[in-house]
């Protein structure tokens, strides 16, 4: 299904007057509105290929209809999202779920939808049908050298596939760890993992980055071999300049101060990118900004401050991606909501009065510092986000237009009611 741009224009026409009134008011409240709108236009958030189908829990999966059955259909779905919001101009593939056989046609399809290939993700957390060795007791950490070799080779294969597509980063998340005390020698698990990562790092093209994601628990519940940002940092520091830490918002112990982690990693040039989602208990993978929008804003506030301090390009110098699972919502609607929440947090962070905040900090004026941050958070920036979409040719209200056009019903018509997205 391809969205007709006339339908987007007609939708925008109906909402235009109300939007313009809001925009005029917002611009009167936020001095730097025009530069914020431009930054929002440039900012793109990658959609992971595995988020387009309905996820599940340990207990069951309730499939939606019209889910993408192939990589081609996943690209078409991201193309639909991007047409609606012009802020989802990249797709992140997961190998082997999205193994490409015809690079030329896949690249042409992505180009047709104005999509780039973001980081490619390797998978050593499950056994593949044709693999010789099992990852039951870990992959890069495994006590068996042959199993480590197989996992290293898989990552090198993923790099090669990504390079064919024009991607320039590899994300590694390891399920490696242990479930019981005594199962692992922590130091040896670390050393094996480091050696394996070094072999993968050696295969990276010159202009590539390696993102090492951490996670405090799950699927292993006693120890995780890359458990937190400190452990990821320890590995990437030893690997070299192309290796960075990736922060997934759902991968911390409860109440971790993620904004502080982000600030320090950025300062040390070791922050690679983000996986956005929201959570109440653990790796809940809920819609970004659904539960803790203030935390999301505070994280973006540190990102903007830290990137500006280093003279970085907000749009291109870090990897921005959603990593979420949709168990009960239409995945496409959920992704539109996530992108909107991320854009709002980014716009709010851009509107913070940095000079006034610095003065308040230097004067230990705690009340003033809080007032400045909360004023930015409490100012409604949705008209700026909508204006960025309007200027890009996207919809003023993407979720409303998605429903109005009956996109899901169309996809069910094309693909059937009982489809299951590949990969999950």
* Minimum CB distance to Mn ion smaller for 66 or for 423: 423
Cross-strand pairs, 117 = 91
Per CB under 5 A, the segment of 269-277, 334-342, 347-355, 373-381 that binds Mn ion is 269-277
Binding pattern to Mn ion, positions 9-48, x when CB under 5 A? ----------------------------------------
How many residues in the shown chain lie near Mn ion by CB under 5 A?
A: 3
Tokens of 409: 């019903």
Per the CB < 8 A criterion, the answer to whether 141 and 176 are in contact is yes
* Minimum CB distance to Mn ion smaller for 215 or for 242: 215
- For Mn ion, the binding residue among 98, 118, 228, 248 (CB under 5 A) is 248
Per CB under 5 A, the segment of 32-40, 77-85, 267-275, 339-347 that binds Mn ion is 267-275
* Minimum CB distance to Mn ion smaller for 113 or for 326: 326
CA atoms within 13 A on the CB side of 293: 19
Q: Least Å distance between CB 171 and Mn ion? A: 8
Q: Least Å distance between CB 285 and Mn ion? A: 8
Chain mean position to CA 236: 20
**Binding flag, residue 275, Mn ion (CB under 5 A):** yes
Q: Least Å distance between CB 37 and Mn ion? A: 30
Q: Least Å distance between CB 351 and Mn ion? A: 28
Q: Least Å distance between CB 401 and Mn ion? A: 29
CA atoms within 13 A on the CB side of 146: 4
Q: Least Å distance between CB 133 and Mn ion? A: 25
**Binding flag, residue 252, Mn ion (CB under 5 A):** no
Q: Least Å distance between CB 276 and Mn ion? A: 9
* Minimum CB distance to Mn ion smaller for 93 or for 360: 93
Q: Which of residues 318-337 bind Mn ion (CB under 5 A)?
A: 323
Q: Which of residues 67-86 bind Mn ion (CB under 5 A)?
A: none
Question: Strand order of the sheet with strand 90-92?
Answer: 47-48, 90-92, 116-117
Q: Least Å distance between CB 297 and Mn ion? A: 21
* Minimum CB distance to Mn ion smaller for 323 or for 340: 323
Q: Least Å distance between CB 51 and Mn ion? A: 11
Per CB under 5 A, the segment of 103-111, 118-126, 273-281, 354-362 that binds Mn ion is 273-281
* Minimum CB distance to Mn ion smaller for 67 or for 248: 248
* Minimum CB distance to Mn ion smaller for 50 or for 297: 50
Per CB under 5 A, the segment of 138-146, 194-202, 248-256, 353-361 that binds Mn ion is 248-256
Q: Least Å distance between CB 323 and Mn ion? A: 4
Q: Which of residues 94-123 bind Mn ion (CB under 5 A)?
A: none
State the SS3 of the chain. Answer: CCCCHHHHHHHHHHHHHHHHHHHHHHHHHCCCHHHHHHHHHHCCCEEEHHHCCCCCCCCCCCCCCCCCCCHHHHHHHHHHHHHHHCCCCEEECECCCCCCCCHHHHHHHHHHCCCEECCEECCCCCCCCCCCCCCCCCCCCCCCHHHHHHHHHHHHHHHHHHHHHCCCEEEECCCCEECCCCCCCHHHHHHHHHHHHHHHHHCCCCCCEEEEECCCCCCCCCEECCCCHHHHHHHHHHHCCCEEEEEECCCCCCCCCHHHHHHHHHHCCCEEEEEECECCCCCCCECCCCCCHHHHHHHHHHHHHHHHHCCCCCCCCCEEEECCCCCCCCHHHHHHHHHHHHHHHHHHHHCCCHHHHHHHHHCCCHHHHHHHHHHHHHCCCHHHHHHHHHHHCCCCCHHHHHHHCCHHHHHHHHHCCCCCCCCC
* Minimum CB distance to Mn ion smaller for 98 or for 323: 323
**Binding flag, residue 283, Mn ion (CB under 5 A):** no
* Minimum CB distance to Mn ion smaller for 37 or for 212: 212
* Minimum CB distance to Mn ion smaller for 296 or for 376: 296
Cis amide bond preceding 219, omega within 30: yes
* Minimum CB distance to Mn ion smaller for 252 or for 275: 275
Binding positions for Mn ion, rule: CB under 5 A: 248, 275, 323
């Amino acid at each position: 299904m391809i969205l007709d741009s006339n339908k987007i224009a007609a939708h925008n026409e109906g909402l235009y007057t109300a939007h313009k009134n809001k925009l005029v008011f917002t611009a009167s409240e936020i001095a730097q509105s025009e530069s914020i709108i431009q930054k929002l236009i440039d900012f793109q958030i990658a959609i992971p290929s595995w988020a387009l189908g309905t996820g599940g829990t340990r207990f069951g999966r309730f499939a939606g209809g019209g889910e993408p059955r192939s990589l081609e259909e996943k690209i078409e779905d991201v193309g639909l999202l991007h047409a609606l919001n012009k802020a989802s101009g990249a797709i992140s593939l997961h190998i082997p779920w999205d193994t490409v056989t015809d690079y030329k046609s896949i690249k042409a399809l992505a180009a047709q939808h104005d999509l780039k290939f973001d980081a490619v993700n390797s998978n050593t957390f499950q056994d593949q049908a044709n693999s010789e060795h099992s990852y039951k007791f870990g992959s890069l950490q495994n006590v068996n050298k042959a199993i480590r070799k197989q996992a290293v080779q898989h990552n090198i294969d993923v790099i090669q596939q990504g390079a064919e597509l024009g991607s320039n980063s590899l994300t590694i998340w390891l399920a490696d760890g242990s479930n019981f005390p005594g199962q692992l020698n922590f130091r040896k698990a670390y050393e094996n993992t480091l050696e394996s990562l070094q072999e993968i790092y050696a295969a990276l093209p010159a202009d590539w980055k390696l993102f090492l994601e951490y996670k405090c628990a799950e699927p292993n519940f006693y120890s995780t071999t890359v458990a937190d940002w400190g452990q990821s940092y320890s590995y990437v520091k030893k690997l070299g300049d192309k290796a960075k830490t990736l922060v997934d918002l759902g991968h911390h112990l409860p109440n971790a101060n993620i904004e502080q982690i982000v600030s320090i990693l950025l300062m040390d040039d070791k922050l690679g990118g983000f996986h956005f989602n929201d959570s109440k208990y653990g790796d809940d993978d809920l819609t970004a900004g659904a539960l803790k929008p203030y935390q999301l804003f505070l994280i973006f506030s540190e990102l903007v401050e830290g990137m500006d301090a280093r003279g970085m390009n907000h749009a291109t110098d870090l990897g921005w991606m959603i990593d979420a699972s949709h168990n009960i919502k239409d995945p496409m609607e959920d992704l539109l909501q996530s992108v909107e929440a991320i854009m709002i947090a980014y716009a709010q962070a851009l509107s913070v009065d940095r000079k006034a905040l610095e003065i308040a900090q230097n004067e230990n004026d705690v009340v003033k510092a809080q007032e400045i941050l909360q004023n930015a958070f409490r100012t409604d920036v949705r008209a700026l986000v909508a204006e960025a979409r309007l200027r890009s040719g996207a919809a003023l209200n993407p979720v409303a237009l998605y429903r109005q056009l009956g996109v899901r019903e169309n996809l069910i018509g094309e693909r059937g009611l009982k489809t299951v997205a590949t990969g999950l």
